[in-house]
Amino acid sequence: MRIAILGAGATGGFLGARLVKAGADVVLIARGPHLKALRESGLRLIEAGRETTVPVEATDDLAAIQSSDFVFVTLKAHSVPSMAAGLAANLGHEAAVVSAQNGIPWWYFQRHGGELEGTHLETVDPGGMVARTIDPKRVIGCIVYSATTVVGPFSNTTAPQRAARALAAAMRSGPGADPARRANSPSWGVRTTSPVSRPGPVPSEGPRTTAPISSPEPSA
């Protein structure tokens, strides 16, 4: 089984590293300095205080998707429309698309049933480009809960970890540190960080990041 990851940023990089470490056949689709770093140095994952580097197959050629059984789309939602035609053109006959973005996805009302069946969300899919080009029968839904960030290729990769440890220590002390309060923290985390979408303008694409990925150490 071959897996392509379209959008090798924080979420895509974390997913790719984990899959490669588990023995999966993975190709990461990236571009610019991010692609260069992946090719030259591999993908460095910093997780729970441990650092590992895995060699990865990386390319900017969407044709690499053609041999994949699953394509994880981990792009920012506003970047998907510009990539939709290229993605659809390179999907294998039996390939599935796993949409791994937060918020309401473009396919939410496709095959939904009821009075909202086929409702188009212009703020999610401007002009309906994605809906027209990717067959909803191919789509597998996915919600991302991992908290990841791109550290970058610079050498001082310990600074974010030191800051995270300092904050974690602060949260474990004081009145909020009692077990009863800590026991409720996971449920509040879900309530406050679960995906939320709202109507609004489509943001412009922000600056690109580079390869190493950091997953913050979970608190006690």
Q: How does pLDDT run across 57-109, given as a tens digit for each residue?
A: 999 999 999 999 999 999 888 888 889 999 999 999 999 999 887 777 888 88
Q: How far apart are CA 160 and CA 98, in angstroms?
A: 30
- How confident is the model over 11-29, as pLDDT tens digits? 888 899 899 999 999 999 9
- How confident is the model over 2-14, as pLDDT tens digits? 999 998 888 888 8
What's the confidence (pLDDT) of residue 152? 65
- How confident is the model over 180-204, as pLDDT tens digits? 444 444 544 545 555 444 444 444 4
69: alpha, beta or left? (left if phi > 0; alpha if psi -120 to 50): alpha
* Structure-token match 């913050």, residue found: 216
Residues 6 or more apart whose CB falls under 8 angstroms from that of 193 comprise 145, 147
Q: Which domains does the chain have, with CATH numbers?
A: 2-150+200-215 (3.40.50.720), 159-192 (no CATH)
pTM of full prediction above 0.85? no
* Structure-token match 């401007």, residue found: 126
What's the confidence (pLDDT) of residue 91? 93
What's the confidence (pLDDT) of residue 28? 95
Length of the chain: 220
What's the confidence (pLDDT) of residue 163? 64
- Bigger pLDDT: 90 or 219? 90
Tally of CB atoms within 10 A around 128: 13
What's the confidence (pLDDT) of residue 70? 94
Q: How far apart are CA 121 and CA 118, in angstroms?
A: 10
Residues 56, 28 contacting (CB under 8 angstroms): yes
